[in-house]
Amino acid sequence: MSRRTFLTAAAALGLLPAGGRAFAEEGLLSFENARPFSFELLAEHARRMAMQPYIPPRPRDPEVLDQIDFDAHWKIKYRPEATLKVADGEAPVRLFHLGRYFQLPVGIHVVDGGESRELRYDPAVFDMPADSPARKLPKDIGYAGLRVMAPDQKNDWLAFLGAAYFRSSGELDQFGLSARALAIDVAMPTPEEFPRFTDYFLERSATPGHELVITCLIDSPRMTGVFRMDVGKHGPVVMDIDSRFFARDDIARLGLAPLTSMFWFSETDRPDRVDWRPEIHDSDGLAIHSGGNERIWRPLNNPSVVRTSSFSDKNPKGFGLLQRDRAFSNYEDDGVFYEKRPSVWIEPKGDWGQGEVQLVEIPTDDEIHDNIVAYWLSEKPVKKGDEIPLSYRLTWARDEPHPSEVSAVTATRIGRGGIAGQPRPKGVVKFAVDFDGGFVARLDRETEGVEAVVSTSRGELSNIDCYSVKVGTAWRMTFDLKAEDADPVDLRAYLKRGDQTLTETWLYQFLSDPDSAA
């Protein structure tokens, strides 16, 4: 299955929870016998798995599962009284049923006192229509995934369903982009490999302010591993992640701490009349806090072909896919609320060494396709037998969790180049980039000495200017670019005053189209 096919199938569905001993005693849920459990024991198990040939899992009764399409799956409801109460009900968990798009069962285990017990599948925990195809399945078919509910159980805020993906509704309680345990060979000539969480181990967190620890066993043709998430939700959702991966074979491109999002179009370079809404995206830019303390903002594109951009760094302080535009009027969507989609920030722990943040942008013609991937790629190649430890903090919030004093990019717009009232030069486009907050917001409108520093990989720059916007506290940078052909142009710009850098570094890959230039 291709990456695009998998993501399209998964886009519309959600995730579920897990429970505790009380329900087993009451007879609503039943568990297997207890087994010793720890992160180290599971990691050792994953290490041994990596030494063995990969055995592809096969779904049971695929003909029946294929009948459980989106509509049939939606009608299968988990019974609230069977909710697993982890952490004394602070993190109640419910489970997903298998279906057409999620045919491989996962193990659900509850951990207590250094022991784990696997939850047995029971169709009685689901409320199914009388004509549901799910009634034809074996009584031990298994569960598809889980979701963590709010204490009042009215909404979920964390979900796992399919491969090694997971999502959170974040600080604004609206699901959007996804995170993954790892990404293998994204945008390579060979098909992408999708590792999957085969088992989930749920336990109370011992970290103050956190409720739940979810430890996952990972398996795939070329990688195994263990992925531990210590999770808390108090406003933003914070996950402290410790992972250990074991390579079954060489891997050309191993994406660590990957994020997957959707960007169709925005105010930056909007195509004509593709949709009635002004903008449609889960994220509008990639932010990087480099190891050298530079703040970078790269607006996202929807290119005509797959494009991979690399940002070299050593020991990055953080990176993430952010949704900065929070105005409802810029989306006008009262169904899925793009202005509430979470920003997700990766904060490395320990020494990540030399490598690069990679951004992959894939063409899309609709909002149902996740077409943006960002991850860390170490300069060290992955060889068979390698062990790769990785720790970081993952934050799902309204804004980047560690704002800087430098001003942030708040808008990028592109239009016809030249000067109003004069003949417009052919093949010239104008860029207008707004910065706000931080240093520029403190400047007087008459402040002198503010300078726009702009560079380009090719083409000619002209009409470079910057000034305070008359409404609000933003400063605007404008410039023209003439590019002779359709090859990508890499642009770099920021504002400074004397020796002081005032703003983030704005990076942009302009995909010119000289045939349509006015």
Q: What is the pLDDT along the chain (518 residues), one digit of tens a residue?
A: 344 443 334 333 333 233 334 343 345 789 999 999 999 999 999 999 999 999 999 999 999 999 999 999 999 999 999 999 887 778 999 999 999 999 999 999 999 999 999 999 999 999 999 999 999 999 999 999 999 999 999 999 999 999 999 999 999 999 999 999 999 999 999 999 999 999 999 999 999 999 999 999 999 999 999 999 999 999 999 999 999 999 999 999 999 999 999 999 999 977 676 899 999 999 999 999 999 999 999 999 999 999 999 999 999 999 999 999 999 999 999 999 999 999 999 999 999 999 999 999 999 999 999 999 999 999 999 999 999 999 999 999 999 999 999 999 999 999 999 988 888 898 899 999 999 999 999 999 899 999 999 999 999 999 999 999 999 999 999 999 998 778 899 999 999 999 999 999 999 999 876 444 33
pLDDT at 273: 67
Which amino acid type is present at position 13? L
Backbone phi and psi for residue 60, each to the nearest 5 degrees, phi listed first:
-90, 140
What does each C-alpha distance from 498 to 434, 449, 451 come to in angstroms?
20, 7, 8
DSSP 169: -
The Cα 235–Cα 171 span in angstroms is: 5
What does each C-alpha distance from 406 to 108, 311, 432 come to in angstroms?
46, 20, 19
The Cα 44–Cα 197 span in angstroms is: 16
The Cα 210–Cα 239 span in angstroms is: 9
Which alpha helices (DSSP H) does 109-174 contain, by range?
Answer: none
CA-nearest of 501, 459, 494 to 480 is 459
The Cα 110–Cα 120 span in angstroms is: 11
Handedness of CA 466, 469, 475, 480 (dihedral sign): negative
The Cα 169–Cα 161 span in angstroms is: 14
Does residue 476 contact residue 432 with C-beta atoms inside 8 Å? Answer: yes
Handedness of CA 136, 140, 143, 149 (dihedral sign): positive
Token pair for 409: 């990019």
The Cα 183–Cα 481 span in angstroms is: 36
The Cα 100–Cα 369 span in angstroms is: 18
pLDDT at 513: 63
Token pair for 210: 């956190």
- Report how far Cα 85 is from the mean position of its chain's Cα atoms: 27
Residue with tokens 């022991």: 115
What does each C-alpha distance from 272 to 265, 368, 372 come to in angstroms?
10, 19, 22
Does residue 287 contact residue 497 with C-beta atoms inside 8 Å? Answer: no
pLDDT at 22: 36
Residue 17's CB is within 10 A of a number of other CB atoms, namely 29
List of residues 6+ apart from 501 with CB closer than 8 A: 406, 494, 495
The Cα 28–Cα 104 span in angstroms is: 24
What does each C-alpha distance from 468 to 30, 295, 410, 412, 475 come to in angstroms?
66, 21, 14, 16, 4
- The alpha-carbon radius of gyration of the chain (Å, integer) is 25
CA-nearest of 267, 264, 307 to 283 is 264
Among left, alpha and beta (phi > 0; psi -120 to 50; other), residue 128 is beta
The Cα 57–Cα 54 span in angstroms is: 9
Backbone phi and psi for residue 255, each to the nearest 5 degrees, phi listed first:
-85, 120
